[in-house]
Amino acid sequence: MQELAKQTNAWACYDCGKCTATCPVSRAGSPLSPRRHVLATNVSTPDEAAQDKTLFACLTCRQCDARCPAEVDYTLLVQKLRAVAFDKKVEPECPHGGALQSVMRMMADGGTQQDRLKWLTPDLETHPTTGSVFFWTGCTVYYDAFFPELKMKTLEGTKAGIRLLNVLGETPVVSPEERCCGHDLLWNGDVKSFESLAKHNVELVKKSGAETLVVPCAECARTWKMDYEPFITGTAPRILHLTEYLAERQADLPIKGNGAKKVTYQDPCRLGRHMGIYDPPRDLLQAVPGVELTEMIKNRKGATCCAGSTWSNCDRFAKKIQVDRLREARATGAEVLVTACPKCQIHYRCAMKDPKLGDEISIEMLDVAEIVANALG
């Protein structure tokens, strides 16, 4: 615990309370207090720290990190404390019966045959093994099937990404051997399963010979860019979120426009505060004739999280955060809420199913790639 305090700067905490005052979960009424976890790191034993029931309530959205005057890396601290808790057999109570985590661990164990490419249509040009560009599909191939009651279409964003790469003259690798990036398992403390997935995926991309890895999911992009680094040997591929790649090659896209639409953009935590990527998605949206981008009051570094994170925060506090954010999106007058992470769409779509709120918070949602792809004519 002393080493963890040094690693995350927890020992320098002023006990000023800015983290707790900033935390969206605390502000929603939860008993979660980030500084309590900092204090536990400084004075508690691993057994005591692991028993704090609010440890898994944190969204790891990094709002507290951005405002901490002592520069405590609270987000990393939570990740490490959850690993301590996992070693003590303490895990979060996951919604959906823990089914998504089970699928991730099945992939980590290996030996499970996936039918990952059934969704590919003849108009999408891909290669299953080798190429200069590897397109990382993530878990969108599971989400639409797993949430039929939400009428999810996260795969549409994935397809749009491939379509745009094809327009740019690329035939990307879309591998049937891809596995979950392990993001959720890592942030829930299951480091062993995460490492198994990381080693498999890094080797898969290395064998493809890809020089560039394009990732449409914000969480997968964060995982590849920041958490896979210790597992990558030799020359690493250039890792870009899809919006970064498209923004770089924007001049080569035959964008014609798709009619007037007023949109607002949701900054995913992993893309924004975790990796500092704010401009590429906005540049793409503003490049589409007829699309008017209007910002929510809380945007960029101050954007509110979708309150989903690792499928372990599904409670009344998360619901309040989501409803408030959807009201903020509707207040802009936008017709469409655009994001760059499939999980944002899932969590907001779930919140919209509230029968009492109805049309008050409902809004169409699309991925940035869908907006751009629809503008090609």
- Residue 9, classed as helix, strand or coil, is coil
* Averaged confidence pLDDT in the chain: 93
- Rounded CA-CA distance 101/182 in Å is 10
Q: Which amino acid is at 358?
A: G
> Do residues 232 and 200 both lie within one domain?
yes
> Do residues 102 and 212 both lie within one domain?
yes
In this model, does residue 111 exceed pLDDT 90?
Answer: no
pLDDT digits (tens, 9 = 90+) for 133-146: 999 999 998 998 88
Q: H-type helices in 58-172, by residue range?
A: 63-67, 74-87, 99-109, 140-146, 154-167
> Do residues 78 and 105 both lie within one domain?
no
Reading the block at residue 77, the tokens are 């601290």
> Do residues 277 and 241 both lie within one domain?
no
* CA quadruple 76, 81, 85, 90: dihedral sign: negative
For residue 321, what are the CA distances in angstroms to 26, 139, 309, 355?
A: 10, 24, 13, 17
> Do residues 284 and 212 both lie within one domain?
no
3 state SS for 230-291? HHCCCCCCEEEEHHHHHHHCHHHCCCCCCCCEEEEEECCCCCCCCCCCCHHHHHHHHCCCCE
Check if the beta carbon of residue 278 is closer than 8 Å to that of residue 340: no
Domain count, the chain: 3
Check if the beta carbon of residue 7 is closer than 8 Å to that of residue 41: no
Domain CATH number, residue 282? 3.40.50.10700
- Rounded CA-CA distance 123/282 in Å is 28
Q: How confident is the model at residue 361 (pLDDT cuts 50, 70, 90)?
A: very high
pLDDT digits (tens, 9 = 90+) for 215-238: 999 999 999 999 999 999 989 999
pLDDT above 70 covers what percent of the chain? 99
Q: Which of 248, 281, 314 is the last residue of a domain?
A: 248
Check if the beta carbon of residue 194 is closer than 8 Å to that of residue 184: no
pLDDT digits (tens, 9 = 90+) for 22-64: 999 999 999 999 998 999 999 989 998 888 889 999 999 999 9
* Contacts (Cβ under 8 Å, ≥6 apart) of 346: 143, 147, 150, 152, 154, 308
- Rounded CA-CA distance 65/309 in Å is 16
pLDDT digits (tens, 9 = 90+) for 268-322: 999 999 999 999 999 999 999 999 999 999 999 999 999 987 887 788 999 999 9
Half-sphere exposure (CA, 13 Å, Cβ side) for 254?
7
> Over the range 332-345, which residues count as b (16 or more CB within 10 Å of their CB) and which as e?
bebebbbbbbbbbb
Q: Is the pTM value of this prediction over 0.85?
A: yes
- 111 vs 183, residue with greater confidence: 183
Domain CATH number, residue 9? 1.10.1060.10
Gyration radius of the chain's alpha carbons = 20
- Rounded CA-CA distance 79/310 in Å is 12
> Do residues 131 and 201 both lie within one domain?
yes
Check if the beta carbon of residue 264 is closer than 8 Å to that of residue 296: yes
> Do residues 214 and 302 both lie within one domain?
no
> Do residues 238 and 101 both lie within one domain?
yes
- 311 vs 129, residue with greater confidence: 129
| pLDDT of res. 261 | 87
> Do residues 231 and 265 both lie within one domain?
no
| pLDDT of res. 247 | 97
> Do residues 41 and 60 both lie within one domain?
yes
Q: Which of 227, 248, 269 is the last residue of a domain?
A: 248
> Do residues 196 and 270 both lie within one domain?
no
Domain CATH number, residue 140? 1.20.1050
> Do residues 126 and 200 both lie within one domain?
yes
- Residue 155, classed as helix, strand or coil, is helix
In this model, does residue 259 exceed pLDDT 70?
Answer: no
Domain of residue 121, residue span: 96-248
Check if the beta carbon of residue 83 is closer than 8 Å to that of residue 333: no
| pLDDT of res. 260 | 64
- Rounded CA-CA distance 210/131 in Å is 6
Q: Which of 233, 248, 263 is the last residue of a domain?
A: 248
> Over the range 131-170, which residues count as b (16 or more CB within 10 Å of their CB) and which as e?
bebbbbbbbbbbbbeebeebebbbbbbbbbbbbbbebeeb
pLDDT above 90 covers what percent of the chain? 81
